[in-house]
Amino acid sequence: MSKRVLTTESGAPVADNQNSATAGVGGPLLLQDQHLLEKLARFNRERIPERVVHARGSGAYGYFEVTDDVTGFTHADFLDTVGKRTEVFLRFSTVADNLGGADAVRDPRGFALKFYTEEGNYDLVGNNTPVFFIKDPIKFPDFIHSQKRDPFTGKQEPDNVWDFWAHAPEATHQVTWLMGDRGIPASYRHMNGYGSHTYQWTNAEGEAFFVKYHFKTNQGVRSLSSEQGQELAGKDPNSHQTDLLQAIERGVNPSWTLHVQLMPAAEAADYRFNPFDLTKVWPHKDYPLQRVGRLVLDRNPDNVFAEVEQAAFSPNNFVPGIGPSPDKMLQGRLFAYADAHRYRLGVNHTQLAVNAPKATTAHNYGRDGLMASNAQGRAAKNYEPNSYDGPVETGRPLAAPLAVNGHTGTHEAPLHTKDDHFFQAGELYRLMSEDERSRLVANIAGGLSQVSLDDVIEKNLAHFHAADPEYGKRVEEAVRALRED
């Protein structure tokens, strides 16, 4: 069987791929060597800007299967029939580190899921924790700057990390999650995923419910200690990527069970916690988990760059029956995520194979731009309305409208009866066993003791004292002991 002929990008056959053209034997290179110039020029442009956050990622394809009837809460097409399957792509990631960082580090994990539904792609962008460090997007750039590499030292600095947290008491709940036993997942397969934000479901009758998503791993939650994480990161920086790839190649397909918490929209205003505050959870005794379906990953990408690095998720990709809530962090991300992809991948990134709809076809009036591939035919118009049988609006909103009132301006979030920055962090601490508490305290003290400013240490200690007196006392004693060594 004859081999295919190597060609240039224009399709011309390549005569010699081992030697550059020169002016005589041993002479200088010739500018006319089109193949050499094309290879070098393309090589210089192979990389695109990495994500500012969630840069290091892994992904896989699979399906979501509905196991329980939820049509009383949403008219989303992909959730309308028990047994119905929808193709998905799931991207896991670390948050703070660069593309070349290690997998087994203490950091939240991204859990970004794209449903290729018959009514368009639905993106659910969350983490492996149900809460986050901040509740207002105006703080997000400052927060990420504090967690990324310092502009002078070029590395993550405890001074910056803990200084931001000292000035963000609402982070205490997420810090308690991050420094606890689940702060370093053993693999992507052995962690839960959460929508984290509050979203809205709307049923066929127009009734609105606020919803939180919980993907519970069917492999069981497994995590690493700080020492185990450091050892594994040194031995195999790609540990999570390798584990996911090899598990699926062996046919050991990871799966998660999706549960949701549902709150009738009318109950939101008087709930004891602000239900749209990303730093807080809804206790399960208030809104129990209800099973929805099963998520299974069963196929690895053929090309990591094309399908994982170029995968673009945006929480504003909703489908009929699902919409946003007044969650301020979600509202900020509705813009920021899609804008980041337009910068990194271009305005036509939704036409890339991993991002394009699979169960339907996109019909719109977007045209031109770099790498445009959506040729519409010579008679197609690029404006609406028109008289030439172009796509038309439906007049049917995707979700129920959100009520608004009051004056424009910068406002703090409204306080509910149990709203403070520390109560839920204390509740989480009190749920832990003694061994879990000891490891949590050691993890916090290990970083906080390295901070150079006493004032920053004291501010952070005050947060832990406010969450739980024992919590604060133990962290304070551990920090003091480490600083006296």
Where in the sequence numbering do the catalytic residues fall?
A: 54, 127
C-beta neighbour count of 267 within 10 angstroms: 13
Question: What are 185's strand-pairing partners?
Answer: 223
Cβ burial 62-99 (10 Å sphere, 16+ → b, else e): bbbbbeeebeebbbbbbbeeeebebbbbbbbbbbbbee
Element at 29 (helix H, strand E)? none
Please say whether the beta carbons of 168 and 133 come within 8 A.
Answer: yes
Helix 454-467 × helix 172-179 angle, to 10°: 90
Q: Residue 355: helix, strand or coil by DSSP? A: coil
**Torsion, Cα of 84, 87, 92, 98 (10° steps):** -160
Q: What is the 3-state secondary structure (H, E, C) of 424-441?
A: HHHHHHHHCCHHHHHHHH
Q: Is 47 exposed, middle or buried (0-12, 13-18, 19+ CB in 10 A)?
A: exposed
C-beta neighbour count of 394 within 10 angstroms: 7
Q: Residue 57: helix, strand or coil by DSSP? A: strand
Question: What are 65's strand-pairing partners?
Answer: 85, 294
Which residue in 207, 262, 221 sits closest to 68, CA to CA? 262
N residues, the chain: 485
- Residue holding tokens 């129920």? 400
Element at 260 (helix H, strand E)? strand 255-264
Q: Is 417 exposed, middle or buried (0-12, 13-18, 19+ CB in 10 A)?
A: exposed
CA–CA separation, 164 and 158 (whole Å): 10
Please say whether the beta carbons of 105 and 229 come within 8 A.
Answer: yes
As a 3-state breakdown, the chain gives helix, strand, coil percent values, each rounded to 5, of 30, 15, 50
CA–CA separation, 54 and 47 (whole Å): 16
Element at 312 (helix H, strand E)? none
Element at 126 (helix H, strand E)? strand 120-127
CA–CA separation, 254 and 188 (whole Å): 9
The residue type at 62: G
What tokens appear for 214 in the block?
């919980």
